[in-house]
Structure formats: C-alpha cells, structure tokens
C-alpha cells in the first residue's frame, strides 16, 4: 500500500457530483406540485433534499479521508447494529407504516430506513469476510455457504417489511462479490437457480406481487390500478421526445404519476429533458461504473479490490433496477434512483459508500 495517499479519482467524483446536482434540480421540478398541494410549500421536498445532500457530502468527505482498512474492523459491529434496526422496524408501534410497508424508524419528520444501511453494511461485511477466507472460496460448504448465512438473514428481514426490490439488489450485489472473489461457476449457477426459485415463490405467495407481474406483462389490462404506474411512466418518457417538454413543464407531475420525486423521478426527467437528459444520466452512471471497476482492478490488496467492486455494484444494480422499472423493462418495485431520488437514508449512505470508494482510489494509479 502506498505510504502517502494521492488525490481521489476525479472522474468518480465528477460523475457523482453531476448526478447529485441533477437530482436536486429534478427533485424540486418533480415535487413542486405535490408539495404545494400537500404541504402548502412548493419547496418542501427541495429544502429537505438539500439538507440530506449536504449531510451526505459531509459523510462522503469523511469516508474519503478515512483509510478504507478501518471498515474491515467496523464491519461486524455495523452489521450487528443493522440487524437490530431491521428487527426493530418490524415491531408494531416502532416501525412506521407507509402504503402497507413497514420500512422506517423515527419520529416527527425525521425517519431512518434500515434497509438503506443494510446495503452498505452487507458490502462491508461480505468484502471483509471474503478477503479473510479467500482460500476457501472454491469450496461450496466452507467458502460459499458461510457468506450466504448473513445474506439470508438480511434478505428475510427486508422481505418481511416487505421490500423485495431492496432485498434483490442486496442479493445481486453479494452474488457479484462471490463471483469476483473466485467462487466456482457451478456453485454460482446453483445459487442463481435457487434464487430464481425463491423469487418465484415470493411472487406467488404475495397477491400484490403477482398483480404487479401481470401488470408488467400487460399494463393495459388494468390501466386504473395495477398497470397505472407503468402506463403513466411511459406516457412521461414518451412525451419527452428528443429534447423534452422543458425543465419544470412536466404534465405527469400534476398528480398523474405516483411518486414522481422518488421511485419515478427518471420518468419526469425523461419528460422534461427528453432523450438527451436520460442519456446524460445513463452516461454519468456508466462513467461511475467504469472508474469504480478500474479502482477495483488496480486496488493494492484483495480487500480493497472486493470492497471497490461491491460499492460500485451496489449503486449500479440499484440504478439499473430503477431505470428498468421506469421504462417497463421489469415489474414495478419500489427502489430509488441513486443520487437523484428524494430520500435521506438512501442519499446519505450511498454517498458514504462513494467516499469509501474514493478513498480506495487514493491508493491506486489510474490512467
């Protein structure tokens, strides 16, 4: 490891700041109408997003300047705290229920989403465990199964909220880490098959998930209920054309498209800024992924390599899932778009993860 850390990777930093800036603008543009209707303040969500963004940037700066090896020691305590929070959120009277889901802890207007902490905690925990037991990864029983035990606990607790989207994003990230660490393809194939079977069971045993799947296959079969989100999202994107209808001029945000400033903010961006706007965001995400993986490949040790891969994957899996939902490429599941969607927990812990990635980049030579 280099004695003196260098400056963090500029391209990762630039991509994240650009996405964050676009996000703040789009949160205001997409939420102004609903904020005025519900809170008599068009700036309600903007003011909160700016606070969360500021706190997130402070966390990013802190983790960017903290030697990433520290997280190897902190991973287990952080995982323990995460598990406690995931259990507490399921306790009636403690967890806040919104739209039938119990995902938040807090009081007043301050709420914390434990599943967002779980994303970062699982990356830190799994990276440390894989780096420590890398010589066993070729064995399914000794190398792969131990890594799955914590995943199954976290997956089950998040699924209980219920939040299949977040659970799947965490599962996908851990799967990638196992591949990068050297797990055998036949073991990964078995896990993949078991995972698909589990997802099918989760859909079949929850009527609302089955309805979402049917709506995905034919949203026009029930355009006023289960297919409503998809149809309105496609209306928004389709209306944008090449250059969009203009910033702030969305029609779908006038209480047509549900959750325009959170899960479906990409649709409003497409409506207002068109194909040019959506491609700009996608290019920024792929810039982030490209440099993040370059950091992983060039990391000075196996722990840094696995950790950088996990942090990059964590963000990209979530981004791809959100964009896939908004463009009707997969069934609707509530998962925010990193850096853009409104939300404090997601923004703060995602930016903290970026800071760790930037710290790793300070010890590598990139061209």
pLDDT, residue 108, reads 65
Residues 6+ apart with CB under 8 A from 174: 122, 126, 147, 148, 151
pLDDT, residue 99, reads 72
Q: What is the pLDDT of residues 224-244, one digit of tens each?
A: 888 898 999 999 999 999 999
Q: What is the 3-state secondary structure (H, E, C) of 235-288?
A: HHHHHHCCCCCCCCCCCCCCCCCCCCCCCCHHHHHHHHHHHHHHHHHHHHHHHH
Q: Which of 117-126, 157-166, 218-227, 325-334 has the lowest average pLDDT? A: 218-227
pTM above 0.85, yes or no: yes
Task: Tell me the percentage of the chain whose pLDDT exceeds 90.
Answer: 72
Question: Residue range 67-72: average pLDDT?
Answer: 96
pLDDT, residue 102, reads 84
């Amino acid at each position: 490891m280099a004695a003196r850390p260098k400056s963090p990777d500029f391209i990762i930093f630039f991509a994240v700041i650009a996405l964050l800036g676009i996000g703040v603008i789009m949160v205001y543009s997409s939420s102004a109408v609903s904020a005025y209707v519900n809170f008599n303040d068009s700036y309600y969500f903007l003011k909160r997003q700016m606070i969360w963004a500021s706190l997130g940037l402070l966390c990013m700066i802190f983790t960017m300047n903290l030697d990433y090896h520290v997280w190897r020691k902190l991973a287990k305590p952080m995982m323990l705290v995460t598990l406690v929070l995931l259990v507490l959120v399921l306790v009636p009277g403690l967890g806040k229920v919104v739209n039938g889901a119990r995902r938040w802890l807090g009081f007043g207007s301050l709420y914390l989403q434990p599943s967002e902490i779980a994303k970062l905690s699982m990356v830190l925990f799994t990276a440390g465990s894989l780096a420590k037991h890398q010589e066993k990864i070729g064995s399914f029983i000794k190398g792969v199964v131990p890594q799955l035990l914590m995943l199954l606990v976290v997956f089950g607790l998040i699924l209980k909220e219920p939040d299949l989207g977040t659970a799947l994003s965490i599962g996908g990230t851990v799967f990638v880490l196992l591949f990068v660490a050297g797990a055998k393809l036949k073991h990964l194939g078995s896990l993949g098959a078991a995972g698909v079977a589990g997802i099918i069971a989760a859909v079949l045993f929850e009527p609302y998930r089955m309805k979402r799947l049917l709506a995905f296959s034919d949203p026009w079969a029930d355009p006023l209920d289960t297919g409503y989100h998809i149809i309105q999202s496609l209306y928004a994107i389709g209306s944008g054309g090449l250059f969009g209808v203009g910033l702030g001029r969305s029609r779908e945000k006038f209480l047509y498209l549900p959750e325009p400033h959170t899960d479906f903010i990409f649709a409003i961006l497409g409506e207002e800024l068109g194909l040019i706007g959506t491609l700009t965001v996608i290019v920024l995400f792929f810039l982030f992924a490209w440099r993040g993986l370059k950091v992983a490949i060039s990391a000075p040790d196996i722990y840094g390599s696995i950790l950088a891969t996990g942090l990059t994957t964590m963000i990209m899996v979530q981004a791809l899932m959100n964009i896939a939902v908004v463009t009707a490429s997969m069934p609707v599941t509530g998962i925010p778009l990193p850096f853009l969607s409104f939300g404090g927990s997601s923004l703060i812990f995602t930016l903290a993860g970026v800071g760790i990635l930037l710290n790793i980049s300070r010890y590598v030579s990139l061209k």
